[in-house]
């Protein structure tokens, strides 16, 4: 499939630019117009790590006029095996600053915008707005779904890549893509390919499982390859296709990815109509929450027993549902009171809790309640517990008559 160029050409190239980009200019498909499009393009790279390093360097060398970098981390010695935009003397420095300097050294004609913050629900629209295309180099599922959803709501195409040990994947997610004739390309999003994140702990990260350093270059350069094609409207970008690379077998494969009419985001009856709690969705919990939950997690069967005892008057405790009011309307554990997680974060929830009763907390799946458990324990409720699996487990195992979501 061919798509119209994403970016209008800049008015002109300077003499310096003509000299610098001459090897592009003499390719007929790129030419002066294609290079002017690159000059006018604004590309945001998420992460200056394994994939972000080669992506940023080649985007800069190619003459993409404005490059944004989202990165809050600092350079660690263990990054240098693959994150080639950083050098030995950058260890301990902010990655965004180090990356910015490297880009300036590769191509001083490129404008670099640093977003030195962790991408989250509160800043994602502000950061994404104004960019033509996004290159996603993140390594965790919560951020991937956040990027996918935010890019969809803003109608910005993005090039996704992922790496692990010797295996790499890449694709272009552009659900709003239209063809040359103006009709919809019926292109999928990341959720069409992966509707659900893997269960927490099932897929090890590169920090846990390792990654062949040079694999980052293979996939990161594919991402830039696809970005250039989408920006300039040349070739056949990997929209609706998944590129799979096996470095050990030296094998590239391409699989078709179809738009899922039941996709929660871009399908016919979407259920994701705004940003969601991505940590909760992906089951990622902080170290503090994991510590608090260790030895203080009960099952829904135990909770059912405790609720019976409470009814009989032989036990007393407060069951707190820390979800949002709209979730509480869908389903609930009988006898629970609603105090959303945000009230624990701002401290107002603690005033509503009795000091002489045990606190039992639950949420949808057990992630948010583990986070609030850490707060409540920190406030002195030593015997507080939370319910593993949350209301999802309650509905599945105890009360299937309630709807799930
Ligand atoms: Zn979708």
Q: Count Cβ neighbours within 10 Å for each residue of 259-283 and write b for 16 or more, e otherwise.
A: bbeebbbbbeeeebeebbbbbbbbb
Residue positions annotated with a catalytic role: 206, 363
Q: What is the pLDDT of residues 338-396, one digit of tens each?
A: 999 999 999 999 999 998 999 999 999 888 899 899 999 999 999 999 999 999 899 98
Distance 154 CA to ligand 1 centre (A): 14
Element (H, E) at 368: helix 367-378
Neighbours of 347 (CB within 10 A): 10
Residue 221, helix vs strand vs coil: helix
Distance 258 CA to ligand 1 centre (A): 9
Q: Which residue has the higher pLDDT, 206 or 227?
A: 227
Distance 121 CA to ligand 1 centre (A): 19
Q: Count Cβ neighbours within 10 Å for each residue of 289-324 and write b for 16 or more, e otherwise.
A: beebbeebbeebeebeebbeebeeeeeebbbbbbbb
Q: What is the pLDDT of residues 138-157, one digit of tens each?
A: 988 999 999 999 999 999 99
Distance 239 CA to ligand 1 centre (A): 12
Distance 254 CA to ligand 1 centre (A): 19
Structure tokens at 56: 């940023």
* Cα(241)–Cα(253) distance, integer angstroms: 10
DSSP 8-26: PPPS---HHHHHHTHHHHT
Q: What is the pLDDT of residues 67-81, one digit of tens each?
A: 999 999 999 999 999
Distance 222 CA to ligand 1 centre (A): 22
Show the CA angle centred on residue 381, arms to residues 377 and 386, nearest 5°: 65
Half-sphere exposure in the Cβ direction for 17 (13 Å, CA): 22
Return all residues near 88 (Cβ < 8 A) that are at least 6 apart: 80
Structure tokens at 383: 């015997």
Contacts for 149-156: CB closer than 8 Å, 24+ residues apart? 149/191, 149/265, 149/272, 149/275, 149/276, 150/124, 150/125, 150/275, 152/176, 152/189, 152/265, 152/266, 153/125, 153/274, 153/275, 154/125, 154/128, 154/129, 156/128, 156/131, 156/132
Element (H, E) at 163: strand 158-164
Is the pLDDT at 184 greater than 90, yes or no?
Answer: yes
| pLDDT for the residue 118 | 94
Q: What is the pLDDT of residues 20-52, one digit of tens each?
A: 999 999 999 999 999 999 999 999 999 999 999
DSSP 89-117: GGTTSBHHHHHHHHHHHH-TTSEEEEE-S
Distance 63 CA to ligand 1 centre (A): 31
| pLDDT for the residue 197 | 87
Model pTM?
0.77
Distance 194 CA to ligand 1 centre (A): 9
């Amino acid at each position: 499939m061919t798509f119209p160029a994403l970016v209008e050409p800049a008015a002109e190239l300077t003499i310096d630019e003509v000299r610098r980009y001459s090897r592009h200019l003499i390719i007929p498909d790129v030419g002066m117009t294609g290079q002017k499009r690159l000059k006018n393009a604004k590309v945001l790279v998420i992460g200056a790590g394994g994939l972000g390093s080669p992506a940023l360097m080649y985007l800069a060398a190619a003459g993409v006029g404005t490059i944004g970098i989202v990165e809050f981390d600092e350079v660690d010695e263990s990054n240098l095996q693959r994150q080639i935009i950083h050098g030995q003397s950058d260890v301990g420095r902010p990655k965004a600053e180090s990356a910015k300097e490297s880009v300036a050294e590769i191509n001083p004609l490129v404008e670099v915008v640093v977003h030195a913050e962790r991408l989250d629900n509160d800043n994602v629209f502000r950061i994404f707005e104004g960019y033509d295309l996004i290159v996603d180099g993140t390594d965790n599922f919560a951020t991937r779904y956040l990027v996918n959803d935010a890019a969809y709501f803003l109608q910005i195409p993005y090039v996704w890549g992922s790496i692990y040990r010797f295996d790499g994947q890449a694709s272009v997610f552009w659900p709003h893509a239209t063809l040359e004739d103006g009709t919809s390309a019926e292109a999928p999003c990341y959720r069409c390919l992966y509707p659900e994140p893997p269960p927490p702990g099932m897929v090890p990260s590169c920090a846990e499982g390792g990654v062949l350093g040079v694999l980052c270059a293979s996939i990161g350069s594919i991402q830039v390859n696809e970005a250039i094609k989408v920006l300039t409207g040349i070739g056949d970008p990997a929209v609706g296709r998944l590129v799979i690379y096996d470095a050990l077998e030296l094998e590239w494969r391409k699989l078709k990815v179809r738009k899922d009419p039941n996709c929660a985001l871009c399908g016919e009856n979407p259920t994701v109509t705004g940003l969601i709690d991505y940590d909760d969705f992906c089951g990622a919990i902080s170290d503090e929450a994991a510590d608090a939950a260790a030895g203080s997690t009960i099952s829904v069967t135990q909770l059912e027993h405790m609720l019976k005892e409470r009814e009989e008057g032989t036990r007393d405790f407060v069951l707190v549902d820390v979800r949002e009011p709209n979730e509480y309307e869908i389903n609930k554990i009988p006898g629970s009171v609603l105090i959303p997680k945000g009230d624990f974060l701002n401290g107002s929830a603690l005033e509503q809790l009795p000091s002489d009763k045990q606190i039992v907390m639950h949420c949808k799946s057990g992630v948010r309640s583990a986070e609030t458990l850490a707060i409540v324990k920190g406030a002195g409720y030593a015997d507080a517990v939370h319910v593993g699996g949350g209301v999802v487990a309650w509905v599945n195992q105890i009360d299937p008559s309630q709807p799930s979501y």
